[in-house]
Amino acid sequence: MTPFQIFAVVQVATSFMGYLGSRQQMQNMATAAKWDKYHDEIRRKYTVIQANERARKLLSAKRAAQGARGVVIAEGSTLLEQNAVVENLEDTVFWINKGAEMTAREIDYRLTSKLQATAWSSGTSLISNLGSAYITSKMRINQPSSGSPLVGHYSLGHT
């Protein structure tokens, strides 16, 4: 084997290793996106729990105020107040869920674009490096003719 062929084999091996590294990076990005979604889901659940707690405290405060005034609870205007609190809670939970949905879509979009860019760059890099390795493997050193001051020069396989 000529030095150029050895170099070409090394080039092919490093290209393949780079390609495998890109595949691993793509898997890591997908795993990171899953963790982002998981943490966002936990954050969403916690926010819903907080909204429920605020609504519970507000309803309790309204019932206490109504009881102190001697009003019959769950009739007339007190029922309207309770319904308003529940509707506000439902609206809040809807927007919490909508925000979580938008965050999940954003995570998916970012992941898709990163995966696509990594796949493209690893594919083009692999093809480019394999082409370079092929050209390198076909190179040889031309020996100078007698009396020439040149030590030698490189050329492709033809003379």
Residue 133 exposed, middle or buried by CB count within 10 Å (0-12, 13-18, 19+): buried
Domain total of the chain: 1
> Is 32 inside a domain boundary?
yes
> Is 80 inside a domain boundary?
no
- The residue segments making up the domain with residue 121 are 3-46+88-155
> Is 63 inside a domain boundary?
no
> Is 108 inside a domain boundary?
yes
> Is 24 inside a domain boundary?
yes
> Is 59 inside a domain boundary?
no
Least trusted range by pLDDT, from 40-49, 133-142, 150-159: 150-159
Average pLDDT, the chain: 77
Angle at 134 (CA atoms; ends 129, 140), nearest 5 degrees: 125
Q: Per-residue pLDDT tens for 97-111? A: 888 888 888 888 888
Against a cut of 0.75, is the pTM above it?
no
Instruction: 46-52: list long-range contacts, CB under 8 Å, 24+ apart.
Output: 47/96, 48/93, 48/96, 48/97, 51/89, 51/92, 51/93, 51/96, 52/89
Is the confidence at residue 153, as pLDDT, over 70? no
Give the residue-averaged pLDDT of 2-28.
Answer: 79
* Percentage of the chain exceeding pLDDT 90: 6
> Is 57 inside a domain boundary?
no
Instruction: 33-41: list long-range contacts, CB under 8 Å, 24+ apart.
Output: 33/107, 33/108, 33/110, 33/111, 36/107, 37/104, 37/107, 40/100, 40/103, 40/104, 40/107, 41/100
